[in-house]
Amino acid sequence: MTTSGEPASSQAPAPSGEALALEVEDLWVRLGGHEILRGVSFSVAAGSLTGLIGENGAGKTTLLRAVLGLLPISSGEVRVARGHLGRRSIGYVPQKVVLDPDLPVRARDLVELGADGRRLGIPMRSNAKRVFVDQLLQAVDASHLADARVGALSGGEQQRVLIAHALASLPRLLLLDEPLASLDPRSTQETADLLGRIASERKVGVLLSTHDINPLLPVMDRVVYLAAGRAVSGRTEEVVRSDVLSALYRHHVDVFHAHGRVLVSVGEEQSEQGCELDPDDCTDPEKPSGENVAGGPSPAAAVAGPGQQ
């Protein structure tokens, strides 16, 4: 019996770590006459990291923007845990943020705007604010960058400051759109590890999109695999399997394991690897994937590694 008020249940009530930061149920999003998301369902637990995996054009950005409330939802439901003061608060790091080197904005200023960017009036200096910002910068290993211009930082450094900015509103849910793209291999792994640490230490549900699953393997609790607007979710070993992904893509997909790495070979002209090597080759969002292509794994897919140098 699992009635709500039962006092002596053998199963302890879900600890706060098991609370959900995000629940997406049968989400459909239609843009410009095309179904971009076709009934996507998954959840992200507080304190866990979920990877949103898919090729360019699979609908990753659309999904994140729909969760943020920046896109209209055709049907379905998105539930986000209430954050600080009951406000719906989501930390968001957009894709490819370009920060001009001439911006008169220090890392510290950008993080501060994450906390009070909505407020009206001129900001006043305070010691409490300074300590708060310092703590956030420390949490992302960027204390030494506090007084540097954000535009002058390297890609990996900017990414860390943007993560601190997104955390400054004390969100229960942190969304990141391709945070690992265009970072060098070392920064890629450092950023992935940092996000795993932030999820568990700050009890934030982290959902990040990426087209390369490998840097996330050590830190990822769950995966949402997206293809042509449909998704499967679960633990990595449950999802990243030939049979599951073949069912998702609706044609044969190979999954290779080698040296602790995963290579997903989508038997399509525009394979995942093709996307990584040349994003211009990738499927358009409106182009139905899986139905139009026959044939086995393309030679490029078989040869190329999963986007690693």
Partner 1 sequence: MSVLHAIFQPGLFSNSSVQDAAVLGAVVALVCAPVGVFTVVRGQSFAGHAFADVTATGGSAAFLLGVSPLLGFVVMALAGASATELLGAERQRGRDLVTGVVLGAGLGLSALLLYLTTTTQSTTGAAVTVLFGSIFAVSTSTLPLVIGFGASALFLVGLVYRPLLLSSINPDLASAQGLGRRVVGLAYMVALALSVALSALTIGAILSTALLIGPAAAALRLAKSPGRAIAWAALIGVAATWAGIVLAYDSYNWPPAQQGWPVSFFVVSLVLAAYLLAQLTGRRARRA
Q: Which residues of this chain interact with partner 1, rule CB under 8 A?
A: 68-70, 90-92, 94, 97-100, 102-106, 109-110, 113-114, 116-123, 147-150, 152, 162, 165-166, 169
Structure letter (DSSP) for residue 144: G
For residue 220, the SS3 value is coil
Nearest residue (CB) to partner 1, 146 versus 180: 146
C-alpha 144/C-alpha 289 separation (Å) is 46
Beta carbon of residue 178, minimum distance to partner 1 (angstroms, whole number): 13
The answer to whether 235 and 222 are in contact (CB under 8 A) is yes
Nearest residue (CB) to partner 1, 13 versus 101: 101
Write phi, then psi, for 138 (nearest 5 degrees): -65, -40
Beta carbon of residue 36, minimum distance to partner 1 (angstroms, whole number): 18
The answer to whether 38 and 12 are in contact (CB under 8 A) is no
Beta carbon of residue 110, minimum distance to partner 1 (angstroms, whole number): 7
Nearest residue (CB) to partner 1, 57 versus 171: 171
Nearest residue (CB) to partner 1, 101 versus 299: 101
Residue whose structure tokens are 């070993």: 237
Nearest residue (CB) to partner 1, 14 versus 103: 103
Beta carbon of residue 70, minimum distance to partner 1 (angstroms, whole number): 6
Residue-by-residue DSSP string for 241-295: SHHHHHHHHTS-EEEEEETTEEEEEE-SSS-HHHHHH-GGGSPPTTSPTTTS--S
Residue-by-residue DSSP string for 45-62: ETT-EEEEE--TTSSHHH
Rg (CA), the chain: 20
Nearest residue (CB) to partner 1, 176 versus 228: 176
C-alpha 309/C-alpha 303 separation (Å) is 13
For the chain, counts of helices (H) and of strands (E)? 9, 11
Beta carbon of residue 117, minimum distance to partner 1 (angstroms, whole number): 4
Would you state the structure tokens that stand for residue 211, as one six-digit string?
């087209």
Beta carbon of residue 264, minimum distance to partner 1 (angstroms, whole number): 29
Beta carbon of residue 257, minimum distance to partner 1 (angstroms, whole number): 36
